[in-house]
Amino acid sequence: MRKSAIHVGMHLRDSVDSSVGNFQVMVAPSDATLLQLVGFRKTTDVFGDPEESASDLDDDTSDLPFPEPLTRASFLAPDFNPADYLSSLTNRHQSLEDLRQELRNLDQALSRELLDLVNENYGDFLSLGSALQGGEEKVEQVRVGLLSFQREVQAIRDKVEARQSDMEKLLNEKRRLTGHANIARALLDFAERVEDLEKRLMIGDAPTQHQRESAEGLDTDSDLLDSESEESDEEDLPTGSSAAPLVSLRRLENHIQKYVYLTRLASRIGGDHPFLLNQRPRLAKIRATVLVDLKTALEQGSHAGAKRDTKTMAVLRLYKLMGEDTSAVTALKNLKI
């Protein structure tokens, strides 16, 4: 409200002081002119009544464009220009002096309003000054309290950071121990599988022919599946080859799969692990035993009669599964047909 009053007052002063000199309005006729007009009307109106003529004159002057009071909103436009505003008042039936007086009255009213606003807030200004007395002590108290709070927050932050550092160390230690535990479980699994495969292949105790056949007879789950095919293969084999035990291709494939799994498990753990380095001789014995069985199966397949090609291809597929293509080529070259 204060800004509006100041804004309007400034525009009013500009309107009154700077642009009134160039303003031209329709000046109202003076009293003498009005009397002459009335007398002329009386002399020309022969048949009319003087009272009726006076009333007619009053009726005529009532239609004149009397000016409306100036509004405050007219001076609040952001692009207000005093010259443009005064030029828009050309149709006002008002003398220049009356317009100037109205502008001055509006300016005085705005000045009084502004003064009233200042007087109303003056008491608040004084009370504000008295309220600020002793404020330095309050500000100092707030500052001391804020510093104390800041120190407490910093202490809590230090504790949280220390706890975070401890948690990170513990988590890293947990990850390390978990990795070691996984490696230990993998090593135990590796050792159990090596031992199991050695038992199946009868490695380590130099088994006799009878012990080897009895151990192979323990694998009943695979023997039951291909017992009939082995019997038919024995019938196809010549009498000279009956001295060697018949090698089951399905059992041999099972041994090869276990051996391949051991090599992959060792690669996943790390071939330079001390435990795996100690197990290399055992893996080498397993590999050599499986290769001997493959060579025996290849020789038996070459005497299988009508199933010779099928048996040979099956044995070569087992060589490939084991990753011993070179050994397969060597065995084929040394094969006696």
Distance CA 200, CA 213 (A): 11
- For helices 135-201 and 249-269, the axis angle rounded to 10 degrees is 150
Q: Note whether residue 136 is domain-resident.
A: no
Q: Of the candidates 197, 162, 194, which has an alpha carbon nearest to the alpha carbon of residue 279?
A: 194
- The residues near 36 (Cβ < 8 Å, ≥ 6 apart) are none
Q: Note whether residue 148 is domain-resident.
A: no
Cβ-based burial of 75 (10 A; exposed 0-12, middle 13-18, buried ≥19): buried
Question: 266 near 190, Cβ under 8 Å?
Answer: yes
Are 187 and 327 members of one domain? yes
Domains contained in the chain, number:
2
Distance CA 315, CA 320 (A): 9
Q: Quick one: what percent of the chain has pLDDT higher than 70?
A: 67
Flag whether pLDDT at 150 surpasses 60. Answer: yes
Q: Note whether residue 138 is domain-resident.
A: no
Flag whether pLDDT at 235 surpasses 70. Answer: no
Flag whether pLDDT at 43 surpasses 50. Answer: no
Q: Note whether residue 160 is domain-resident.
A: no
Are 178 and 115 members of one domain? no
**What is the value of pTM for the model shown?**
0.47
Are 230 and 179 members of one domain? yes
Q: Which two tokens stand for residue 304?
A: 């299988």
Question: 200 near 285, Cβ under 8 Å?
Answer: no
Are 14 and 105 members of one domain? yes
Are 228 and 321 members of one domain? yes
Helix, strand, or coil (residue 205): coil
Band of residue 274 on the pLDDT scale cut at 50, 70, 90? very high
Q: Note whether residue 226 is domain-resident.
A: yes
Q: What is the mean pLDDT of residues 235-250?
A: 61
Where is average pLDDT lowest: 107-111, 145-149, 190-194? 107-111
Distance CA 160, CA 139 (A): 31
Residue where a domain terminates, one of 131, 157, 182: 131
Are 214 and 123 members of one domain? no
Band of residue 192 on the pLDDT scale cut at 50, 70, 90? very high
Are 213 and 83 members of one domain? no
Q: What is the mean pLDDT of residues 302-325?
A: 85
Are 100 and 227 members of one domain? no
Flag whether pLDDT at 322 surpasses 70. Answer: yes
More confident residue, 121 or 189: 189
Query: Cα(first)–Cα(last) distance of the chain, in Å?
Result: 120
Q: Which two tokens stand for residue 86?
A: 């005064």
- In the DSSP assignment, the letter for residue 134 is T
Residue 256 lies in domain: 173-333
Tens digits of residue pLDDT in 284-298: 999 999 999 988 888
Band of residue 21 on the pLDDT scale cut at 50, 70, 90? very low
Are 101 and 11 members of one domain? yes
- The residues near 212 (Cβ < 8 Å, ≥ 6 apart) are 202, 245
Are 194 and 249 members of one domain? yes
Q: Of the candidates 103, 67, 86, which has an alpha carbon nearest to the alpha carbon of residue 23?
A: 86
Q: Note whether residue 188 is domain-resident.
A: yes
Are 234 and 321 members of one domain? yes
Q: Note whether residue 161 is domain-resident.
A: no
Helix, strand, or coil (residue 26): strand
Residue where a domain terminates, one of 131, 165, 186: 131
pLDDT of residue 199: 92
Q: Note whether residue 57 is domain-resident.
A: yes
- The residues near 268 (Cβ < 8 Å, ≥ 6 apart) are 186
Distance CA 57, CA 70 (A): 28
Are 48 and 98 members of one domain? yes
Flag whether pLDDT at 260 surpasses 60. Answer: yes
